[in-house]
Structure 1
Amino acid sequence: MPDPRFFEDLGPTSLGELATLTGAQLVGADSSDRRVSRVSTLAHAGPDSVTFLNDRKYAAELARVRPGACFLPSALADQAPEGCVVLIAANPQGAYALAAQRLHRPRPAGLDAIADDAHIEDGVVLGAGVVIGPAAQVGRGTRIGPNTVIGPGVAIGRDCEIGPNVSIGFALVGDRVKVLAGARIGEPGFGATVGPKGLIDIPQLGRVILQDGVSVGANTTIDRGAFDDTVIGENTKIDNLVQIAHNVHVGRNCVMAAHTGISGSVTIGDGAQFGGRAGVADHVTIGAGARVGAASGVMKNIPAGETWGGMPARPIRHWLKETAWLARMAARKAGGEA
């Protein structure tokens, strides 16, 4: 379930209403009055939730979790387990997104600069123009720079340094964390799909977790999860102008140089290192202690401890050999033409 510190619960609602809202076909007229209270990804589904399935390879997972209802394409309607109400949709993910908008929404920021129910411990220093939302918490010894906005429900630990013009929302921040000027923590990750009338946003219902000792550079963006969390592990150091997308899990003691871009649902092991302007495609796993060269483009998994470079990235020795060979061939051709 989306964290109630950050999201309001708008349910429950009937499956008949969701079918009308999404244009889905409800299988079983007697199911119209059945109610669900939340949306959920397949991994977290339960009897009070509605989920979606696009791919037959996850049918076993659907049978295991037994959700209350599921949006399915007509070709997979027979994959629903007993007790799971089927809603047939041309685009199950789009129907799921509309259902999520009906059942959940972000908590409002409120009207006061410092909310009455915000909990600010002794020794906190707030710069001019700081905004702290309802039910937010700030730990002892933390300093927050001018014009920074701390959203509803956000928890910031002790002895943190939050720079000016930072925004932090939908986030849990540990102790001794540094967030430099202009960073954006917890904005919605990029997710869109086709709805009945064109493209629609997929609600991003997860959080950002910055563990103890993390450093986040100026103008860096870390998106909150689509449903699961985006997690930055202890003592990881992130440079300026880095983009980390939704659902990324970064291990402890990692280093990312400026302009690194990490796509959604990437998993990065402890101690991994990224040179400037490195890019990683979505759903890739970077092993512990792996190193990615500057300006490399990672398109597949990197085993632990290996160093890769190039575009597309491959083991560094292979890339260097290929580069040297190309240089020799180019030199021979130039010499022959001369």
Structure 2
Amino acid sequence: MPDPRFFQTLSPLTVAALAEHIGEEVARGGEVVISAVAPLSTADRGAIAFLGDRKFASALAETQAGCVIVPSSAVDAAPAGAAVIVSGEAQAAWARASALLHQPIRLDRAASVADAVEDDSVVIEPGVVLGEGVRIGRGTRIGANTVVGPGVQIGRDCLIGSNVSIGFALLGDRVKLLSGARIGEAGFGAAASRAGPVDIPQLGRVILQDGVTVGANSCIDRGAYGDTVIGENTKIDNLVMIGHNCVIGRNNLMAGHAGLAGSVTTGDNCIFGGRAGVGDHITIGEGARVAAGGGVLADIPPGETWSGYPAKPLRQSLREAIWLAKQASQKKGAKES
């Protein structure tokens, strides 16, 4: 279930009513009542999940979901106890169902500073807007014109710069967010449908552990359903992008213009050079390094340094670059002669 501090769960619906609203057909179990959406792996009897790819067939067989949305070819593979909705665009149908069951809590009105702060040591600069349910620990300073969304929890001795936005997030102690940082915006996710791309609701959170620093104008997206987590003492430079559901280890260093796609996992003590990029669902081992400009499209074992595009172990990447330069030089010489 999405965190109730950030998301409102709406009235439950029967499977038949859901199917009617999203324009799909019920194969069985139209009377089953559904109150939430969830992935196949974590859904319970009150939730609806979907099969978007055949590689998750085992998760479909084992799911505890009360209802599943599947293509017609997978109806027989659905668990016997689950209601079934048939759709040729299962992920888009699930996204539409999500919008009927959960909504983000909006910043409809501001809370008073007195209700939000732990004590008088908290400094709130001019123009700050605090949502209802915000809590701010002692010794923290919030910069001018920053917006803190409903339910956000900020620890002690934090330094939040000006023009920062924070939503759907839990911050530990001694966290620093420099000016213009965006924490907790919706991650990028869209599902194909007959009517065009459908936004996939992002129902997770951002968790910044103690001692994290986030540079100016950097963005950290909230999870699609789980959490985006930044480990203790990780330092993130200006203009860095971290996608939804990334789990970053402790003491990582990320230089400017680095970018991590969704669901990247890094170990502790990893380093990313400027403009390094990492593809989605990739694991970076403990102590690994990505050189500036590297484009990572495969898992990196612990302790290794990779460079180039596509990124490879440093020595291999350098050997290939030298070989290519020699080949180019030889061809140029042959043409000139």
Please give the TM-score of this superposition, normalised by the length of structure 1: 0.96
Aligned counterparts of 2:115 and 2:196: Cα–Cα separation in 1:
40
Cα offset, 1:27, TM superposition: 1.3
Cα offset, 1:220, TM superposition: 0.1
Of 246, 270, 273, the residue aligned with 1:272 is 270
Superposition pairs of residues 226-265 of structure 1, within 5 angstroms: 226-265=224-263
Cα offset, 1:113, TM superposition: 6.0
Cα offset, 1:17, TM superposition: 1.2
* Cα distance per residue 1:59-95 (max 9 Å; x no partner): 3222323210000000111111121001000111001
C-alpha root-mean-square deviation of aligned residues, in Å?
A: 1.4
Cα 1:103–1:115, aligned 2, differ >3 Å: closer, same or farther? Answer: farther
* Cα distance per residue 1:224-279 (max 9 Å; x no partner): 00001000000000000000000001000000000001000111111110000000
Tell me, yes or no, if structure 1 residue 163 matches structure 2 residue 150: no
Cα offset, 1:116, TM superposition: 7.4
Question: Is the Cα contact below 8 Å between 2:63 and 2:79 reproduced in 1?
Answer: no
Question: Is the Cα contact below 8 Å between 2:107 and 2:149 reproduced in 1?
Answer: yes
AA aligned to 1:187 is E
AA aligned to 1:298 is V
Of 97, 114, 118, the residue aligned with 2:95 is 97
AA aligned to 2:18 is L
* Cα distance per residue 1:284-313 (max 9 Å; x no partner): 111111000100100111111100000000
Aligned counterparts of 2:156 and 2:147: Cα–Cα separation in 1:
17
Aligned counterparts of 1:45 and 1:121: Cα–Cα separation in 2:
40
Aligned counterparts of 1:201 and 1:304: Cα–Cα separation in 2:
36
Of 33, 40, 43, the residue aligned with 2:31 is 33
Cα offset, 1:25, TM superposition: 1.2
AA aligned to 2:218 is T
Tell me, yes or no, if structure 1 residue 285 matches structure 2 residue 266: no
Identify the residue that residue 81 of structure 1 maps to in structure 2.
Answer: 79
Please give the TM-score of this superposition, normalised by the length of structure 2: 0.96
Aligned residue for 1:327, secondary structure, equals helix
Segments of 5+ residues of structure 2 without an aligned counterpart are none
Aligned counterparts of 1:64 and 1:122: Cα–Cα separation in 2:
52
Identify the residue that residue 300 of structure 2 maps to in structure 1.
Answer: 302
Identify the residue that residue 191 of structure 2 maps to in structure 1.
Answer: 193
Aligned counterparts of 2:80 and 2:114: Cα–Cα separation in 1:
48
Cα 1:114–1:83, aligned 2, differ >3 Å: closer, same or farther? Answer: same
Aligned counterparts of 2:131 and 2:7: Cα–Cα separation in 1:
13
Aligned residue for 1:231, secondary structure, equals strand
Superposition pairs of residues 1-338 of structure 1, within 5 angstroms: 1-28=1-28, 31-112=29-110, 114=112, 117-338=115-336
Aligned residue for 1:42, secondary structure, equals coil
Cα 1:319–1:24, aligned 2, differ >3 Å: closer, same or farther? Answer: same
AA aligned to 2:83 is V
Cα offset, 1:115, TM superposition: 6.8
Question: Is the Cα contact below 8 Å between 1:214 and 1:235 reproduced in 2?
Answer: yes
Aligned counterparts of 1:112 and 1:58: Cα–Cα separation in 2:
43
AA aligned to 1:114 is S
Corresponding residue pairs, total: 336
Aligned counterparts of 1:121 and 1:290: Cα–Cα separation in 2:
42
Cα offset, 1:43, TM superposition: 1.8
AA aligned to 1:46 is D
